[in-house]
């Protein structure tokens, strides 16, 4: 079974599908877990979908402060 292949998230970095670590272009394997390989140059760049990230951790607890006052004065 071949190692899983990462995906390009920018033109100079790719993301490991196993641990989610972002590796630089010159990395042939994931620097963190070493379990995935760099995608080929033919692979299209697929930036991380913001909705994907936002979707995580939401819907936990009903009383999240959605309407926060825009005052960031501290102290």
Tracing tokens 């670590």 back to the chain, one arrives at: 21
SS3 content of the chain, % helix, strand, coil (to 5): 10, 20, 75
User: Using the rule CB under 5 A, is 5 a contact of Zn ion?
Assistant: no
Per-residue contact flags (x/-) with Zn ion for residues 15 to 54, judged by CB under 5 A: -x-xx-x--------x-xx---------------------
CB of 6 closer than 8 Å to CB of 13: no
Cβ of residue 27: shortest distance to Zn ion, in angstroms?
A: 10
User: Is the CB of 3 or the CB of 55 nearer to Zn ion?
Assistant: 3
């Amino acid at each position: 079974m071949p190692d899983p292949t990462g995906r390009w998230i920018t033109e100079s970095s790719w993301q490991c599908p196993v641990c989610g670590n972002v590796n630089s272009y010159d990395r042939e394997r994931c620097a963190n877990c070493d379990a995935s390989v760099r995608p080929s140059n033919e692979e299209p760049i697929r930036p991380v979908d913001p909705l994907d990230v936002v979707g995580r951790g939401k819907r936990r607890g009903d009383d999240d402060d959605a309407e926060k006052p825009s005052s960031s004065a501290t102290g």
